[in-house]
Amino acid sequence: MSKKNSHSTTDGNIDTDFIEDEEIKTEEYSQDKIKKIRQEKDEAIKAKRQCLEDLQKAKADFVNMRKRDEQDKERFIKSANEKLVSEIIPLLDSFDLALHESFWTDKPEIKKGVDQIHNRFKQILENHGVQIHNPLGEIFDPNKQEAISMEETKKEDEDHKISEVIQRGYELNGKIIRSAKVKIKTFIK
């Protein structure tokens, strides 16, 4: 006994309507499948772009963080240097005073040794970015100097010129650590 093909008609012919329906269903299924695959592809591309964006943001944040850390480190070092220089300045002032005393007249060898130590201190500070300001003869600059006293002059070209440096000024990496204390000339007609 033979089984009848379920897709054939009673007279034994093949049901073409069924085949067309199947082809339509297959075509619709294929189009749905293609549409679904395209959607998945679009979503994957979108996810990839988002991941790439997130990675680029994370990389930029990391680079910025490293820059901030370096800047913080530099500020810390400058601050530490500034504190150290501020503590050494009075020592240099003491050397300046000691070297100008008449005590050294009969002890030139000792004065020479003290002067060498004093110069070495100044050299070390200069090697580490410290600038020593001795503005004698310069025009007074209130941003860098502090006027302690004034003296009159009859020469107009000496007006506001520094006639004496009471205490030198110090600058570290472009920042004034201590203003020079000076005496300035004032023109009187």
Per-residue pLDDT tens over the stretch 114-169? 889 989 989 988 888 899 999 999 999 999 999 999 999 888 888 999 999 999 99
Q: What is the mean pLDDT of residues 75-80?
A: 80
Does position 44 have pLDDT exceeding 90, yes or no? yes
- How far is 145 from 129, CA to CA, in rounded Å? 19
Reported pTM: 0.58
| Whole-number percent of the chain with pLDDT over 70 | 84
Amino acid letter, residue 179: S
Q: Is 185 exposed, middle or buried (0-12, 13-18, 19+ CB in 10 A)?
A: buried
Pairing of strands 180-187, 145-153: parallel
Residue-by-residue DSSP string for 79-107: HHHHHHHHHHHHHHHHHHHHHTSGGGGG-
DSSP one-letter code for 134: -
pLDDT for the residue numbered 188: 87
